Structure 1
Amino acid sequence: MRKLFISLCLFGTLTVSGQEITLDKIYSGYYRSNGIAGIASLKNGENYVVIEPSGIAKYSYKTSEKVGNIVDGSFESYIFSDDESKILLLKESEPIYRHSFLGKFDVKDLKSGIVISLNNGNFIQEPTFSPDGSKVAFIADNNLYYQDLNSQKITKITSDGQKNAILNGLADWVYEEEFGHARQYEWTKNSDAIVFIKSDESAVPEMYIPIYNKQLYPSEMRFKYPKAGETNSTVSAQLYRLDNGKVIALDLSGFKNYYLPNVFRTAKADEIFLISSERTQNASDVLKVNTKTGKVTRLFTETDEKWVDTDNVTLEFLEDNSFIWGSERDGYRHLYWYSADGKLKRQVTKGNWEVTDYYGYNPKTKEVLVQTTEKGSINKVVSRINIQNGKSVIISNPEGNNRANFSGNYQYFIETSSTAARPFTYVLKDGNGKKVKELQNNDQLLQKLKADNMVTREFFTIPNEAGDQMNAWVMKPKNFDPNKKYPLFMFQYSGPGSQSVSNSWDGGNGLWFNHLVQQGYIVACVDGRGTGYKGTKYKKTTYLNLGKYETEDQITAAKWFGKQSYIDADRIGIFGWSFGGYMASLALTKGADVFKVGIAVAPVTNWRYYDTVYTERFLRTPQENPKGYDENSPTEFAKLMKGKFLLIHGTADDNVHFQNSLELSEALIQNKKQFEFMAYPDKNHGIFGGSTRPQLYQKMTDFILENL
């Protein structure tokens, strides 16, 4: 269950004036923010490209001026070949799940101007240039192909692909959702072989979802979904060599091989890395594949007494094929430098902070470029860190949430930055962090919001019963009176490794929270145990007891607020979506004496109904740990329900199935509990489309106004 970003879908334009942030304004597009799409550097280090309405535009770092369009026309995304002589253009797409989609792609030769349609213009998935730029591999109907760009000949690598049975080079549902990507194949550096993962999901239990869509008889969406403790796909690693056209299975029998989530190209010809693990996910093998011989060698095993984050792998190969590896082994996520044969050279970063993103390595300065929490867990900064001595230099803003897109030679970067009080800005900087030019800002948006009496989040910490200081924020009315009692509305997500208390702009729920504040509520958020960026001890406390300590911390936070002179302790509500909906459900049962109102959107209500990879990473299987499942399930505590409860779910949710809310409903009904239930026909986990989001947020707002 990857964290759901709840954006308020903004569309259209409308000129509105006034002194209040309203739902009508939010959904009219009045608060639309500016951005820059598809930023990428060219390898010369002198130019970068972005997606504009007129095409793929080229800009100069030195002058920040537009040079022209590389390609004219409207495209959803693009990928350059390694030598940048060709560009892969996505013209049309149809979404499948969270990451996967069907697309129609063209390849344009930027020297000759020749345009070639991949797969004769038919839909494909996950196309990738060979490193020499002469071919493109892709997937169609669960089979792996490649197309020669000179002859346009299409070669079929596999023939056994079948829906809900065999996938070649493509992740199944649970791999895609929990390991975070759909593509499971990689070219070798010399373009003469491909290593891919074959998944046999024939024995995986099938989930079916009725699709109504104004049909006389509903149709069905059927897909393989392994629930906790059930059968997963059987996976194997396959090697295909172009010279002989043969596919051979790699022998992984001597290694951890239950999950094969990652395939990486190295800096060496004839070599691929695989990351593998057992079902328990507390140890991962780093494997080297010789693609000439098919021999597989284990370099080392990453272990953890609880779990290894195989959905968040950092692996970067340097020119000599040594590599940078991300690990939490010292209690914080840091970088480690390994030799090409898997021997640890040194720990690159160290301290009570974490590396949260990796941007690249500058061989001239021997520095890695990273995003870190060096300035506190609610901030993210961009730093240069020397891999030999660990010296760190912050080159972004020292506060807020900062990201970087670096030039090919690392002499420039485009900084994307925001704080809780300032929407996104895009600034071109040199490699030392000196501002060259502001490329884009959202000053007009900020002026509109200030004119409509926007309030910003105040950050602080709250102690829990374990003695931890939990990060928190609060939003108070503009005319806040400390002698007055206010109702409190709490928002949280609380999932493992997540973060909701961040010094960053929130143009989604943040606007809605402002609307509630203007109706006289105080809105707050607390990141309790299990959340991220405060070290592994804090994050992994919840192991085998998912939901227990997270609920205790939300109850503790609510009680802390209730003791403040300005909070009405009898009027505290809580809201969450997905994992947050699970937490809101627990709060209205286990925390029923504290919370008067709860809103749960698309909640898990029993972890037995959720998928294997995510659930078992934190709870093991239900067979191994039945108490961990049952003692933290809202359905088991329905008899404790008090207060007003609004349950919301989309009927076509492929992630957290509608079944969860139906089971909780039945438990509440059998315990004679009254509650409200809103079902959204044919809507998935995000619950959006047409007027859905405006109706949903109006529904929740009315519920709060009437009951809190």
Structure 2
Amino acid sequence: MQKPVLLLLAAGSVLLSEVAQAQQLAPLTVDKIMRDPAQWLGTSPSNIYWGEDGKRIYFSWNPEKARRDSLYSLSPGGGTARKVSGRDQRELPAATGEYDQRYTRKVYEKDGDIYVLDLKTQRVRRVTNTAEREAEPLFVLQDQLISYSRGGNLFTWNPTTGETVQRTDFRKGYKPADAAADKADKFLRAQQLALFDIIKLKDQDAKARQRQQKALARLRPKAIWLGQQTVRNLRLAPDGRYVTYTLVQEPTAEKVALVPNFVTASGFTEDISTRTKVGAAQTAYQLGLYDIGRDTTFVLGYRELKGLDEQPAYRKEYQLKAKAPAPADSAKAATAAKKEKPASELRRVVPFGPFWSEDGQRAFLVIRSADNKDRWIVGLDPATQKITLLDRQHDDAWINGPGIGYDEGSVGWLPDNRRIWFQSEETGYSHLYTVDVVNNQKKALTSGKYEVQKVQLSRDKKTWYLTANKTHPGEQHFYRMPVAGGTMTQITTLPGASEVTLSPDEKTLAVRYSTSNTPWELYVMDNKPGAKMRRLTHSTTPEFESYAWRAPEVITIKARDGADVYARLYRPATPQAQGPAVVFVHGAGYLQNAHKWWSSYFREYMFHNLLVDKGYTVLDIDYRGSAGYGRDVRTGIYRYMGGKDLTDQVDGAKLLTDKYGVSPQRIGIYGGSYGGFITLMAMFTQPDVFKAGAALRSVTDWAHYNHGYTDNILNEPYNDSIAYARSSPIYYANGLKGHLLMCHGMVDTNVHFQDIVRLSQRLIELKKENWELAVYPVENHGFEEPSSWTDEYKRILKLFETNLNPQTTTPTSAGGQ
């Protein structure tokens, strides 16, 4: 057999599948593709960053096929990548940190200590060297000092004098009671002082010492008693007058699910403590402010915040039912009505910040409602503890999206010290905005039916650097734009995805680039539009390169509600008439997989190539709820998981039969995690569409999943029981007709093994026979062992071959076991 040929094109180093297609290759097998990826596929570079002098690029890599990745470096000019020794790693500055305003110094934490790097001389100065961890270093007081936290308190260090000052004195528990506060104690004390001169003299001496100590104590921070709370996010105001901090109150006595681990080194079953379930009490947050000059603390209030007293829109459905109950349900409706929260009740919020302007004159906060339906940006006046609304983003579903997330998101100040920049889905797509804190004028800097997925301001603050999917939802490119807005100039041009890391001088780009059928590699290019990318790494093995990996076609499906749904389509070179098909459902819910770059589902991608070799057509759909397509797609599953996200799969199956000649009697479906959930819903509610399905590590009842994910989409189960009942597969199990395979790790700390056990019992009680459960005793949610991957996918393949492939025997059982 001839060796595969590598051709270097203007589009980069790409393996040409046409060369391999002309060769007689060994067929793919599950055993082959499910091996340890490092041993046969290769490991792509990741975690890319530049050395502060711009002379080396650092990244994680594993060309040696070791058990774990190691740190490597190479010159941007090319050459041989060098493995960084443990000793050299200890001497390297941390990849992340904070810079002073002129970008002359960088302060960072490493191994629990604080260091400062002079960017001109590359000299490192150690700030702390203690057994206790120091963290969160920042330049403060116009870059004169460095602040950091230790043991829940704020400290500053002066680089000129070397002096360390403790700025706060937070203490756990409650302030000791005044011994003289009791009336009886006061009487006895007065009596002693009146009767005994020696007691009177000692009391006078004690008071004199107290006055002296009090005078000295003014040089020390105020003791602030936290009670049952803890403190985070300590920040010194630029003028040194205030310390802001986040007060954290953890819920008490909440039940935590335990996951039994049966295969252990001790030989005994060991319980793993995991998480609470959706609806459990959540951590509460407040913003505290210590006014050093007045020696006083405050807790910020939000009562005047616009919309804080508004009830979520979904509650109207329950209010209407409570007002006009059906006769049979009158008692339940009355109970529900009693539980209704008063309209005047304020929702809980989570504050982020404050974020100070460079001149130290202004600050703003990002505030989110605990139910994630509102996000406010407000100006903060620490002297009066007043907030001023600058922007409110509301969503009846939940707030999220690129650059927004579940925290403060991407935010900052522009150099004029009066405009704030942030991202918002106000138009339905995440775009870049500014708002003027003086006149409240808001301006959109980008717009259109695409997402701005990453934002970075240049060091001179004259240019934006943006990553966006402007050319196609399945492509990611790097752009630049003037700080005031205007034309977005595209820098990268190759189809696929480009993950860019700017060099310190911003003249060169380190690019992690891939296409749908070539894994990620490291490239470098000049920071100029259309500049040539120079490849620096080669990670894949000759064995991997010997197969003609397909570039799936990215198509659109016209859903029943008129929406365009994107999907990857894999087709045999010579499709058989009325042949079989498999629909793959990606996990994570909010994730994109119908794109033009290398998928994180690389095992599934290889399995799809194997299926196509066997005559299957494969469809991989970015169903409603997926990332990359804006707000309406993201929130399309609100209050009904298993609604549009499932009908998108059904519409995809119809397209396969109408356009691609697939037999409607030979369509299967499979997926893991959220994909496993959809597979169960498909098998239980669409049994005439999908004849066989493999549900992997599946959520079977959303009332048993975690709060952070589920509450956003379905609200709390005790407040929105309708959403949970229609979204949970366990309620629909009686609809099973086809052949179902379920696979689950027994030490899954994300979707607990209990989920699949409960569904199994339900299927047993329903007297269903055409299902099987394969369990994996040592696997968590994401499988790690090649033997587990191999066993799982052999079962999946057998399920489809037995029940879908017309060239096999008549279907007889679930998976043919």
Give the Cα–Cα distance (whole angstroms) in 2 for the partners of residues 289 and 407 of structure 1: 35
Paired letter, 1:534: Y
Describe the shift of the 1:598–1:67 C-alpha distance in structure 2 as closer, same or farther (beyond 3 A): closer
Note if 1:232 corresponds to 2:282: yes
Conservation of the 8 A alpha-carbon contact between 2:640 and 2:714: yes
Correspondence for 2:519 among 402, 417, 423: 423
Conservation of the 8 A alpha-carbon contact between 1:576 and 1:601: yes
Paired letter, 1:463: K
Q: Report how many residues are paired.
A: 652
Deviation at 1:419, TM superposition (A): 1.5
Residue in 1 that maps onto 2:258: 208
Residue in 2 that maps onto 1:481: 574
Residue in 2 that maps onto 1:414: 510
Alignment of 1:231-630 (within 5 A): 231-239=281-289, 249-255=299-305, 256=308, 258-260=348-350, 262-263=352-353, 265-268=355-358, 269=360, 273-290=364-381, 295-309=386-400, 311=405, 313-321=409-417, 322-341=419-438, 343-361=440-458, 363=460, 366-435=462-531, 438-442=534-538, 444-445=540-541, 448-477=543-572, 480-493=573-586, 497-506=590-599, 507-564=602-659, 566-630=661-725
Deviation at 1:246, TM superposition (A): 8.3
Give the Cα–Cα distance (whole angstroms) in 2 for the partners of residues 326 and 486 of structure 1: 47
Conservation of the 8 A alpha-carbon contact between 2:41 and 2:544: no
Residue in 2 that maps onto 1:174: none
Residue in 1 that maps onto 2:99: 82
Paired letter, 2:135: P
Paired letter, 2:273: R
Give the Cα–Cα distance (whole angstroms) in 1 for the partners of residues 56 and 297 of structure 2: 39
DSSP-derived class of the 1:284 partner: strand
Correspondence for 2:48 among 39, 43, 47: 39
Residue in 2 that maps onto 1:97: none
Residue in 2 that maps onto 1:131: 139
Give the Cα–Cα distance (whole angstroms) in 1 for the partners of residues 262 and 432 of structure 2: 49
DSSP-derived class of the 2:733 partner: helix
Give the Cα–Cα distance (whole angstroms) in 1 for the partners of residues 236 and 80 of structure 2: 36
Give the Cα–Cα distance (whole angstroms) in 2 for the partners of residues 535 and 489 of structure 1: 27
Deviation at 1:51, TM superposition (A): 4.3
Deviation at 1:333, TM superposition (A): 1.4
Give the Cα–Cα distance (whole angstroms) in 1 for the partners of residues 229 and 593 of structure 2: 36
Describe the shift of the 1:440–1:342 C-alpha distance in structure 2 as closer, same or farther (beyond 3 A): farther
Describe the shift of the 1:296–1:617 C-alpha distance in structure 2 as closer, same or farther (beyond 3 A): same
Give the Cα–Cα distance (whole angstroms) in 1 for the partners of residues 740 and 662 of structure 2: 21
Give the Cα–Cα distance (whole angstroms) in 1 for the partners of residues 86 and 236 of structure 2: 26
Deviation at 1:585, TM superposition (A): 0.8
Describe the shift of the 1:169–1:403 C-alpha distance in structure 2 as closer, same or farther (beyond 3 A): farther
Q: TM-score, normalised by structure 1?
A: 0.80
Give the Cα–Cα distance (whole angstroms) in 1 for the partners of residues 655 and 690 of structure 2: 13
Give the Cα–Cα distance (whole angstroms) in 2 for the partners of residues 707 and 245 of structure 1: 75
Q: Give the % identical residues.
A: 20
Deviation at 1:458, TM superposition (A): 1.4
- 1:86-135 CA-to-partner distances (Å, cap 9, x unmatched) read 67576xxxxxxxxxxxxx54555656666688651x7x6x9322225976
Describe the shift of the 1:219–1:450 C-alpha distance in structure 2 as closer, same or farther (beyond 3 A): closer
Give the Cα–Cα distance (whole angstroms) in 2 for the partners of residues 267 and 400 of structure 1: 38
Deviation at 1:52, TM superposition (A): 6.6
Q: Which runs of 5+ in 1 are unaligned?
A: 1-16, 91-103, 171-183
Q: CA RMSD in A?
A: 4.0
Describe the shift of the 1:706–1:135 C-alpha distance in structure 2 as closer, same or farther (beyond 3 A): farther
- 1:458-484 CA-to-partner distances (Å, cap 9, x unmatched) read 12112211122211112234xx32344
Give the Cα–Cα distance (whole angstroms) in 1 for the partners of residues 427 and 646 of structure 2: 27
Deviation at 1:588, TM superposition (A): 0.7
Alignment of 1:40-55 (within 5 A): 40-41=49-50, 46-47=54-55, 49-51=57-59
- 1:609-641 CA-to-partner distances (Å, cap 9, x unmatched) read 223343232223334432222122211110001
Conservation of the 8 A alpha-carbon contact between 1:55 and 1:70: no
Deviation at 1:414, TM superposition (A): 1.8
Note if 1:20 corresponds to 2:113: no
> 480-489 or 346-355: which moved more?
480-489
Describe the shift of the 1:444–1:285 C-alpha distance in structure 2 as closer, same or farther (beyond 3 A): closer
DSSP-derived class of the 2:681 partner: helix
Deviation at 1:673, TM superposition (A): 1.5
Give the Cα–Cα distance (whole angstroms) in 1 for the partners of residues 498 and 571 of structure 2: 26
Describe the shift of the 1:548–1:50 C-alpha distance in structure 2 as closer, same or farther (beyond 3 A): same
Give the Cα–Cα distance (whole angstroms) in 2 for the partners of residues 67 and 517 of structure 1: 40
- 1:380-438 CA-to-partner distances (Å, cap 9, x unmatched) read 11111234342111111252112211234433322222221332233222222353662
Deviation at 1:69, TM superposition (A): 8.0
Conservation of the 8 A alpha-carbon contact between 1:145 and 1:158: no
Give the Cα–Cα distance (whole angstroms) in 1 for the partners of residues 799 and 237 of structure 2: 56
Alignment of 1:151-162 (within 5 A): 158-160=170-172
Give the Cα–Cα distance (whole angstroms) in 2 for the partners of residues 556 and 320 of structure 1: 52
Give the Cα–Cα distance (whole angstroms) in 2 for the partners of residues 209 and 136 of structure 1: 41
Deviation at 1:699, TM superposition (A): 4.2
Residue in 1 that maps onto 2:211: none
Give the Cα–Cα distance (whole angstroms) in 1 for the partners of residues 267 and 497 of structure 2: 50
Q: TM-score, normalised by structure 2?
A: 0.70
Describe the shift of the 1:425–1:687 C-alpha distance in structure 2 as closer, same or farther (beyond 3 A): closer
Paired letter, 1:543: Y
Q: Which runs of 5+ in 2 are unaligned?
A: 1-23, 62-68, 174-226, 309-346, 805-817
Residue in 1 that maps onto 2:88: 73
- 1:333-368 CA-to-partner distances (Å, cap 9, x unmatched) read 11111124582341100112121222334656x432
> 553-562 or 314-323: which moved more?
314-323
Describe the shift of the 1:673–1:266 C-alpha distance in structure 2 as closer, same or farther (beyond 3 A): farther
Paired letter, 2:507: Q
- 1:234-256 CA-to-partner distances (Å, cap 9, x unmatched) read 22223468999987533344445
Report which of the two has the higher share of strand: 1
Describe the shift of the 1:574–1:166 C-alpha distance in structure 2 as closer, same or farther (beyond 3 A): farther
- 1:278-309 CA-to-partner distances (Å, cap 9, x unmatched) read 34422112234456775544433222343221
Give the Cα–Cα distance (whole angstroms) in 1 for the partners of residues 624 and 148 of structure 2: 43
Paired letter, 1:79: T
Report which of the two has the higher share of helix: 2
Describe the shift of the 1:297–1:209 C-alpha distance in structure 2 as closer, same or farther (beyond 3 A): farther
Deviation at 1:573, TM superposition (A): 1.5
> 436-445 or 50-59: which moved more?
50-59
Conservation of the 8 A alpha-carbon contact between 2:154 and 2:234: no
Give the Cα–Cα distance (whole angstroms) in 2 for the partners of residues 272 and 185 of structure 1: 15
Note if 1:650 corresponds to 2:714: no
- 1:433-456 CA-to-partner distances (Å, cap 9, x unmatched) read 3536624244754x6445223222
Give the Cα–Cα distance (whole angstroms) in 1 for the partners of residues 249 and 607 of structure 2: 43
Give the Cα–Cα distance (whole angstroms) in 2 for the partners of residues 475 and 155 of structure 1: 62
